[in-house]
A and B are shown apart, each in its own frame.
Chain A
Amino acid sequence: MADALIEAHGLTKTYGSFRALKGLDLRVMPSEIYGLLGPNGAGKTTTLRITAGLIEPTAGSVVVSGFDATKDPLHAKARIGYVAEIPILYESLTPRELLDFECSVRALATEPVNRKAHQLAEAFEVTSAFDTPIATLSMGTKQKIAIIAALIHQPPVLLLDEPLNSLDARSSRILKELLSLHVQRGGAVLFSTHVMEIAQRLCSRIGIIFDGRIVAEGDLNQLRARAGAKDATLEEVFMKLTNEASEVENTMRMLRESFFVDEDR
């Protein structure tokens, strides 16, 4: 069995008195798109930020391509492409200046970088924005620039935090195709989303994260079996495994009474 490209053990992160992660474990294998599915505040972004080396865990460890993300961050980061939920970029730079900076720091070779930059810029239709300060670009264009910056060095590991949020249909399709090609070449993707349809269609394995822990993982059939809900959709499985079904029902009852009652009666 091949070694995991991402391996997290007992990942814990506390912010003051709040525990965002409570001993999370996960493994992402080569040629796998692993979907981290969970409600807002479940710990998806924290998991990705620790793996990307942006923050340090309070306890536990993450190993990326054989390198500990905390103890050997340089080697780990060289093998990661990261796209944040809200693009993190130097907004006063232009996309060209940002790529100058990134590719220089990554010590990439000029010719392949220029070829890839051109192809990716054409694919995501951002060539016209190449010399425009990032601060003035739309959210979707910023997201595309962040994606190009994550892909340009062709890392084995991609960490994508809700990457499709601001993308148009064409760019979403291109990104999904690129991710398929990436995993066909043996790469791994750790992908966070709260959109069930995306997780169901795109991911080879799904980890349901809830309250700082992975409460269930596997492909859709394994999750259905775990939830004891044969033929259920991913949304139904998710609701069952996270015990949110009854909460949603209660909330909807309250909303129906508040918003959809004829006040003239």
Chain B
Amino acid sequence: MKTADAWRLSAITYSEMAFKSILQNSSNMWWGSFGRGSSEAPGHEDLVKRALRIARFDKFIITAFVIVAAGAPFLPQALGASYGISASVTLSLAVSFALVVLYGVQTLSSFVTSGPSPVLSTLPLMRKDVSLVNLFSFVRTGDYLVVGSVACQVFFVLLVTGSALSGLFMLLAGAMNSVMGVGVALWLSSVFYRSILGSKQGKLGGVMRLALLLAWGVVVLGIGVLFAAAGYLIPLVQSVLASPNTLTGSILSLVYPFSLGISVGSVAHGVALSLVEGVALGATVGYLLVAVAVSRWSMISVSSFPEGSSISTGGGRVHDTSVSLHGPVAAYSLKDLRAASANLPSAFLFTLPAFETLVILLIRAFLPTLGASTILVAMTLGGIVSLILPLVLVSSEGGGFDFAKTLPLRMRTIVFSKALMTTVVFLPAAAVVYGESLLKPLTSPSSILIPLASILAVAAASLLEVRLFLGFAPRGRVTFALQEFARMAAGAGAVLLPAAIYVAVYVLTFNHALAAGVMVVASSAEVLATTEFVRQS
């Protein structure tokens, strides 16, 4: 087979792979629910249409985001900031690396479970041709992302430094970074889907799932923190890197991707190398060798997929077939938890409200006391973030929802179970605040009631949101997006209303205790009202 033919054929197998990955991880489709064809929980046909739509547009959206993220750290210099570019290059590489990993894990899931196209193996093609098509499919996974982010980085380096050599170094650093990112994504996908989904579910599987979940969380939060703190981080890191021959600088120059950032920066100023820069250049050569090894491993791994499914279902006889029974709401919640946690991205969402609350508290860590406003903001933002979960839980039903439909289940059981799960997931956010209150004095003791009110508000909001998502028939294509925004807005409104009442009462009376009391009453009323709304449906 000619290389050009293999490249052309890989477009089809890549599309199929991306489509299957989206379909496999149906909880990733929550954002794709915009414009879906039914207000009932999605059926299989609807899921397929949504998966196709998301597979087509996902890559373009992510590429645009990656380009913006890769370019943003250079804006201070592009707007005239006087400090060097090492820290900006480092931040840009770190963010684009993390985004390539996140996107790669999502897209490569079907690649590692069944190969890009099992159909190819049934056609009269040589094994090496199938391997070549697989390899090209793999390359297509990150082509726009990699080309877009690296081009953006090279453009900004050229713009800021005016040095062609720096641009060339940036090109090399960007390429190495992308190779490493795709390699890590492939490894993570292999570990997650082979070792966890493909084998018996035991303690080891649980530990692996937790470890990957935390790793995933660190990557996602890392991106958020890098962006949130970029304004402080870039000048701070740049000042450390600009001081020649410091111990901290020398240590950083060994760490990826600081080595690459310092190397690009050192080429830009074109004077004699400092100790830090020399160490960074040496480390960069080392990372180049690592990148070559990673690319070789990735190519060998990908080429071996024509041998068939890389998942081993294991053998061993199971003697115990006993089941554990619960009440219907608890059983449905447990099912949701099990189904959603089998997928890395959606599993992480279970920890997001607590992380979000923690980040808000950390941002205000410098304050000596824990104020009512800090608690109110942290809990409200955590509550709004937690409202992603009902959508994920509805979407992660996937084709299996037809199984649930054959059971004697009331709609309200499903709604209560998903709201219960969302509320339980929000509880650690309150625990974070209560934990913080043990470490710091409260400016107002009554503000300890705010997390309780927020929990009630989240319960009410999730009841409302799930009920609206499962309940109403759409009225034509144009109104889909509006309807779904309205549903989410209704949920967000239910979280915001008690907080707004707190603020209003406090502004009128300057009494925290009264404001907190009224907030608890308001959120309790919301729970009663939404429960009644769901019960009557």
In the bound complex, residues from chain A placing their C-beta under 8 Å from that of B399 are 88, 91
In the bound complex, residues from chain A placing their C-beta under 8 Å from that of B314 are 132
Does A208 reach chain B (CB closer than 8 Å)?
Answer: no
Does A114 reach chain B (CB closer than 8 Å)?
Answer: yes
CA–CA, A89 to B339, complex, Å? 11
Q: How many residues of A contact B (CB 8 A)?
A: 48
B window 307-325: CB within 8 A of A? 311, 313-319, 321-325
- A92-112 Cβ-contact flags toward B at 8 Å (1 or 0): 111011111111111110100
Minimum C-beta distance from B102 to chain A (A):
20
A window 67-90: CB within 8 A of B? 73-75, 77-78, 80, 82, 84, 88-90
B330–A104 CB distance below 8 A: yes
A136–B313 CB distance below 8 A: yes
Tell me the nearest residue of chain A to B319, going by C-beta. A127
By DSSP majority rule, is chain A's interface helix, strand, loop, or mixed? Answer: helix
CA–CA, A133 to B109, complex, Å? 15
A window 107-150: CB within 8 A of B? 107-108, 110, 113-114, 117-118, 121, 127-133, 135-137, 149
Does B175 reach chain A (CB closer than 8 Å)?
Answer: no
Does A252 reach chain B (CB closer than 8 Å)?
Answer: no
Of the candidates B24, B316, B330, the one whose C-beta lies within 8 Å of that of A128 is B316
Tell me the nearest residue of chain A to B197, going by C-beta. A133
CA–CA, A135 to B405, complex, Å? 20
CA–CA, A90 to B335, complex, Å? 9
A127–B322 CB distance below 8 A: no
Does A53 reach chain B (CB closer than 8 Å)?
Answer: yes
CA–CA, A87 to B482, complex, Å? 35
Does B198 reach chain A (CB closer than 8 Å)?
Answer: yes
Of the candidates B201, B406, B407, B409, the one whose C-beta lies within 8 Å of that of A133 is B201
- B161-194 Cβ-contact flags toward A at 8 Å (1 or 0): 0000000000000000000000000000000000
CA–CA, A118 to B319, complex, Å? 9
B321–A90 CB distance below 8 A: no
CA–CA, A93 to B397, complex, Å? 11
Place the interface of chain B in its size category: 35 or more
In the bound complex, residues from chain A placing their C-beta under 8 Å from that of B339 are 90, 92-93
In the bound complex, residues from chain A placing their C-beta under 8 Å from that of B56 are none
Of the candidates B113, B321, B330, the one whose C-beta lies within 8 Å of that of A130 is B321
In the bound complex, residues from chain A placing their C-beta under 8 Å from that of B326 are 100, 104
Does B408 reach chain A (CB closer than 8 Å)?
Answer: yes
Tell me the nearest residue of chain B to A91, going by C-beta. B400
A107-B328, A117-B322 given; A54·B406 CB < 8 A: yes
Minimum C-beta distance from B442 to chain A (A):
42
Tell me the nearest residue of chain A to B328, going by C-beta. A105
Does B86 reach chain A (CB closer than 8 Å)?
Answer: no
Does B147 reach chain A (CB closer than 8 Å)?
Answer: no
B315–A128 CB distance below 8 A: yes
In the bound complex, residues from chain B placing their C-beta under 8 Å from that of A78 are 408
Minimum C-beta distance from A76 to chain B (A):
8
The 3 A-B pairs of least Cβ separation, nearest first, read: A104-B331, A90-B400, A92-B342
Please give 9 more A-B residue pairs, beta carbons under 8 A apart, in addition to A53-B405, A97-B335, A104-B331. A78-B408, A90-B335, A93-B338, A100-B324, A102-B403, A127-B317, A130-B318, A136-B198, A136-B311
Task: Pick 28 A–B contacts, CB within 8 A, sort by A.
Answer: A52-B406, A53-B405, A53-B406, A74-B408, A90-B335, A90-B339, A90-B400, A90-B403, A93-B335, A93-B338, A99-B323, A100-B325, A101-B332, A101-B335, A104-B325, A104-B328, A104-B330, A105-B404, A105-B407, A105-B409, A105-B413, A113-B325, A118-B321, A128-B316, A128-B318, A132-B200, A132-B314, A136-B198
Residue ranges of B at the interface with A (Cβ–Cβ < 8 Å): 24, 113, 197-202, 311, 313-319, 321-328, 330-332, 334-335, 338-339, 342-343, 398-400, 402-410, 413
Residue ranges of A at the interface with B (Cβ–Cβ < 8 Å): 52-54, 73-75, 77-78, 80, 82, 84, 88-94, 96-108, 110, 113-114, 117-118, 121, 127-133, 135-137, 149
